[in-house]
Structure 1
């Protein structure tokens, strides 16, 4: 079974980003969200691999963010075809993540580290501690998402690592995984990866997808778990002084 196409993964994240709440507006195929001025989910997404009507959709997106006194920020995948249009409109690359995928056949075995379901309030507190200062509001909003399962891994009898999973049709989206600093390198993330892959298969998914920072320990973990590079996920932000072409 081959990994999902990048378009399938983007479609899964399109559903996922819509679960964070806040003001959610659609402009043709494109969605834009405003949740809180300081949260990274104030973005527009769903551009896919088509550029029909792109300028019109971008006009609407930029007006939406201007109404909230925010720069226009877009999430796109590397199969997007119209990068020159974005450059001309004053967009620059802010962040790039690697997109990894694998089928849900021949899954890694569950490890000896205990993994269990995590109540949303525990997940919010644990993941905020694991990701570090400044992440509390985002993790609380993540914990409030519908259609999401939360997991905790335990070491020395206490929860030290958290992660989340949502399934959208045939694609499982694995995200928000972090381990408390003093417990890193002891297999908690490996255990959470395996547990979520098995849970995704039990939920009927055929493939799993995850994004990681290039060259990070998380990327090495997912590669060891059988994921392969499928493309890139890019965040672009528009210079607020730029004029529309």
Structure 2
């Protein structure tokens, strides 16, 4: 049975990703074959230029209202037509109805990997890290938007073409975009999407040579501080779910737990069986 909290954090994440795709410049949309749509209360995302599950997936099934098998089949049909073959359906364990597992099996879907850990934090002020970073976190303005795009591309190892896409978020309504600098060099980044007094934190990237210097701890704290000032009542983020017993080896996972986020559940990935 899903709860109001589960629904709220799924919804703000869903809207963040939908708006991220809506922000893509026309030339990038055409060159990367980007598509996105709403399927009832769900969203479907497709990006052939970045053929990974994060950019080719369905979100929201069975959260705001009970799903039907017809909706699941509609989502699969749309993804088969528009998405990279590596697409995934991400269905929260709190999705309704409880027969959804039978539909997943009937449509030749199988669970792969460890899934995503969905984190939640209340709106209490963030504490300072015991070892503050020497890097400087700045809220981006359009004039420096490309700094954000470059760090996203370099930090995640994505195609160079994504630089214009992610740069387009700077100054966009509902978004606050941040970059951490080493003097004048952009080295890490993070973004915050605000919707109905909820905040989604994501797009956390650090250039390989600057990892381990506290950039993400500082970026998380700054977003929490600014979100509270903007009236946010709850924050959410997601990270990869580490294998059991290896949680302390996943830096992103630990960064959020260190910042008083709590893992509420694991959202699995489902793909079409080979």
TM-score in terms of structure 2 length: 0.76
Residue aligning to 1:42: 56
Unaligned runs of 5+ in 1: none
Unaligned runs of 5+ in 2: 23-33
Find 1:228's aligned residue among 238, 247, 262: 262
Deviates more, 1:190-199 or 1:42-51: 42-51
Pairing 1:103-142 to 2, within 5 Å after superposition:
103-109=122-128, 111=132, 113-118=135-140, 119-132=144-157, 134-138=158-162, 140-142=164-166
User: Quick one: distance in 2 between partners of 1:139 and 1:87?
Assistant: 38
Deviates more, 1:59-68 or 1:217-226: 59-68
Residue aligning to 1:167: 194
Q: Deviations over 1:157-204 (max 9, x none)?
A: 422111111111122100011111121111111111111111111221
Q: Does 1:88 align with 2:109?
A: no
Structure with the larger RCO, 1 or 2 (CA within 8 Å, 6+ apart): 1
Find 1:62's aligned residue among 45, 51, 76: 76
What is the number of equivalent residue pairs in this alignment? Answer: 236
Q: Deviations over 1:75-125 (max 9, x none)?
A: 222212422321221112234011111111132238553110233321111
Q: Deviations over 1:186-239 (max 9, x none)?
A: 111111111111111122111111111232111111111111111122221123
Q: Deviations over 1:107-166 (max 9, x none)?
A: 22385531102333211111211222x354455433334432211112254221111111
Q: Work out whether residues 35 and 82 of structure 2, in 8 Å CA contact, stay in contact via their aligned partners in 1.
A: no
User: Quick one: distance in 2 between partners of 1:28 and 1:15?
Assistant: 13
Q: Does 1:99 align with 2:123?
A: no
User: Quick one: distance in 1 between partners of 2:216 and 2:67?
Assistant: 42
Deviates more, 1:59-68 or 1:96-105: 59-68
Residue aligning to 2:239: 212
